[in-house]
Amino acid sequence: MSDTQPGNIENVLQEDRRFPPPAEFKPRVSFKTNAEYEAAWNRAKDDPAGFWGELAKENLEWFEPFTSVMSGDMPETKWFEGGKINASVQCLDRHLEKNANKAAIIWEGEPGDTRVLRYQDLHREVCKFANVLKRLGIETGDRVTIYMPMVPELVIAMLACARIGATHSIIFAGFSAEAVADRNNDAQAKLVITADAGWRRGKEVPLKAAVDESLEKSPSVEKVVVYQRTGADVTMVPDRDYWWHELMENESTDCEAVALDSEHPLFILYTSGSTGKPKGVLHTTAGYMLGTTMTTRWTFDLSDEDTYWCTADIGWITGHSYIVYGPLSNGATSVMYEGAPNWPDEGRFWELVEKYQVSIFYTAPTAIRAFMKWGDQWPGKADLSSLRLLGTVGEPINPEAWMWYHEVIGGERCPIVDTWWQTETGGIMLTPVPGVTETKPGSCTKPLPGVVPAIFDEQGNALEINQGGLLVMTQPWPHMLRTLYGDHDRFVETYFSKFEGIYFAGDGARTDEDGYYWILGRVDDVLNVSGHRLSTMEVESALVAHEAVAEAAVVGFPHDLKGEGICCFVTLKSGEPNAEMKKELTAHVRKQIGAIATPDQIRFAPALPKTRSGKIMRRLLRDIAAGRETAGDTTTLEDSNILAALRKNDDS
């Protein structure tokens, strides 16, 4: 559907600044020197089974040892077969002997209420809720949808599922009822765990009401558990809906964890692809746990002395891997915050850093750009001297934002880890090693051990230094996705058909003379809006589902805060192309997908620019959306008057 040429991508950014590791930063549990990192990387490349096998023995808690480390080529590689394991034991039980009284989660609600859950508290609540799940008829292998605000019960629900071997599917609480229904159906979920509502900028976001609406269209769901967060009015359907607190009241605190196969499905997480419905990325237990455990340690140097805060929402992969599984597996103390960064004012994050003495802070470029816009006075009010390491994830960070983060937040003393990875990769793949790798603003630098990337042209030839091309992984890693739930063919087709037996990430990239990687963005029809993937196709489908719309094409354009904004070109079959209709279509897309997909621009046109063979020329639409002159060839355009009409129509 796209008319771009993804191979041989032009690269325009020239960045010469370099930042040697700050002398103050002393690695605690990560690699101590570049030589140590390189030795590990080479070992993992030459002997992946030896490398990962040793780590799995040392760092994972096994009921029964595995008999083989890895078997089979990509995409069918299996890890740690024969082993029996449980992710909740790895995250909780293992720490009870030495660290029962250590804070696992320091939680702050948006209104300012706080809770601290020690490892023994979290363990107790998880055991109780696992018993609740069993009582509600959930068995090993069932799928459970979780649609909750950022409260500790979300973590409890996840780990309770893991404890009994139910596969969780978390849906970001900003998605709409329609999106929840689609995901319930795709996963054939039996149970939904939700809350009455969540808090966002002082307003209640109704969640139970959305679940009620979704259940009209998702017949597989038998029961709903509702956690009371805000006290909002909700309708409880008898014999279907149950209050969390009532179920937990007399529940036993004993719940033996189920010994699961290494490859037992731990969770499904839906993500956007370039075509069709969302993809249910499936991660399994042992490989994912090993990957998140080790990458947390290597990337964040997360030790017993640290207070770590990842600001992501658990509804995305970053929250799964680096709020829940990675940090808890390492026995760390994590801060978890429920609400918005600018509530009650723009200084909230920095107040939290000071209040909890956060030492490691992990956020997204889109947030950093918002902080820059709000002004230095906000971080200036807080004492940020507890910070020793900063991280970013989700999209390429522009060097200006990197420099601001380095100077204003990091006081020029904290290394920045710019971490490249994906829902599919399960854990961080490319990142500086803190205190070891020299950094360059805008580059995610080097692969972690076990990650063997390359840059290919369209034909699968490895490209030279400074040639932009397609980012691929040539060797399997334990925490990679295993399939797309219910659609193994689509899994093979999406990631492994462009180059056989090689993982194609969908991103463009180049390497420089030092072997550093520079990500050039997505090469498919996937937008990166505030660090979250959205498929242009999904927004188009939502638009054409509206009765007034004949045809729609959606493209991204550069957006100061969001990274990419959503521009919709729409041809109407009825109704007036006016401001009223724009409002209506905007609301329609929000209802179909959720607030995350709210269009930034809607432009009406009597027709869309097409080639003579009927293909929409997205390249032209992207130029128009970005306000650029149309570069390149327009001679294949069927009707050249259309472009002028589209350009004129830019009042939004």
Instruction: State which of residues 86, 88, 90, 271 lies at the interface with ligand PRX (CB under 6 A).
Output: 271
> Which stretch, 69-77, 175-183, 418-426, 604-612, contacts ligand PRX (CB under 6 A)?
418-426
Number of Cα atoms under 13 Å in the Cβ half of residue 604:
19
Map the footprint of ligand PRX across residues 312-371, applying CB under 6 A.
Answer: 317-318
Instruction: State which of residues 167, 184, 359, 419 lies at the interface with ligand PRX (CB under 6 A).
Output: 419
Instruction: State which of residues 41, 420, 495, 504 lies at the interface with ligand PRX (CB under 6 A).
Output: 420
Distance CA 86, CA 90 (A): 6
For the bound state, the minimum distance from the C-beta of residue 508 to ligand PRX, rounded and expressed in Å, comes to 9
Instruction: For 103-127, give the secondary structure using H, E and C.
Output: EEEEEECCCCCEEEEEHHHHHHHHH
Instruction: State which of residues 505, 553, 605, 617 lies at the interface with ligand PRX (CB under 6 A).
Output: 505
> 47: Cβ–Cβ under 8 A, 6 or more apart, which residues?
none
- For ligand PRX, give the closer residue by CB, 307 or 366: 366
Residue 528 to residues 395, 561, 601, 614, 628, Cα–Cα distance (Å): 7, 12, 16, 27, 20
Q: Is residue 285 near ligand PRX by the rule CB under 6 A?
A: no
Map the footprint of ligand PRX across residues 430-459, applying CB under 6 A.
Answer: 444
Using an 8 Å Cβ cutoff, are 115 and 107 in contact? yes
Q: CA 184, 190, 196, 198 torsion: positive or negative? A: negative
- For ligand PRX, give the closer residue by CB, 482 or 533: 533
User: Can you spell out the DSSP letters for 200-239?
Assistant: ETTEEEE-HHHHHHHHTS-TT--EEEEE-SS-------TT
> Which stretch, 74-82, 97-105, 528-536, 591-599, contacts ligand PRX (CB under 6 A)?
528-536
For the bound state, the minimum distance from the C-beta of residue 395 to ligand PRX, rounded and expressed in Å, comes to 5
Instruction: State which of residues 418, 540, 564, 623 lies at the interface with ligand PRX (CB under 6 A).
Output: 418
Using an 8 Å Cβ cutoff, are 182 and 278 in contact? yes
Site map for ligand PRX, 1-30, x if CB under 6 A? ------------------------------
The answer to whether the peptide bond before residue 206 is cis (omega within 30 degrees of 0) is no
Instruction: State which of residues 153, 212, 338, 507 lies at the interface with ligand PRX (CB under 6 A).
Output: 507
The backbone torsions φ and ψ at residue 70, rounded to the nearest 5 degrees and listed phi first, read -140, 145
Instruction: State which of residues 131, 214, 262, 423 lies at the interface with ligand PRX (CB under 6 A).
Output: 423
Bridge partners (DSSP) listed for residue 193:
146, 225
Distance CA 194, CA 183 (A): 14
How do 260-261 and 84-85 pair as beta strands? antiparallel
Distance CA 427, CA 435 (A): 20
Q: Is residue 479 near ligand PRX by the rule CB under 6 A?
A: no
- For ligand PRX, give the closer residue by CB, 473 or 570: 473
Map the footprint of ligand PRX across residues 82-121, applying CB under 6 A.
Answer: none
Question: Cβ–Cβ contacts within 10 Å for residue 229, how many?
Answer: 23
Q: Is residue 538 near ligand PRX by the rule CB under 6 A?
A: no
Bridge partners (DSSP) listed for residue 271:
279
Map the footprint of ligand PRX across residues 187-246, applying CB under 6 A.
Answer: none
Instruction: State which of residues 78, 128, 533, 588 lies at the interface with ligand PRX (CB under 6 A).
Output: 533
User: Which residues here bind ligand PRX, judged by CB under 6 A?
Assistant: 271, 317-318, 393-396, 418-423, 444, 505-507, 519, 522, 528, 532-533
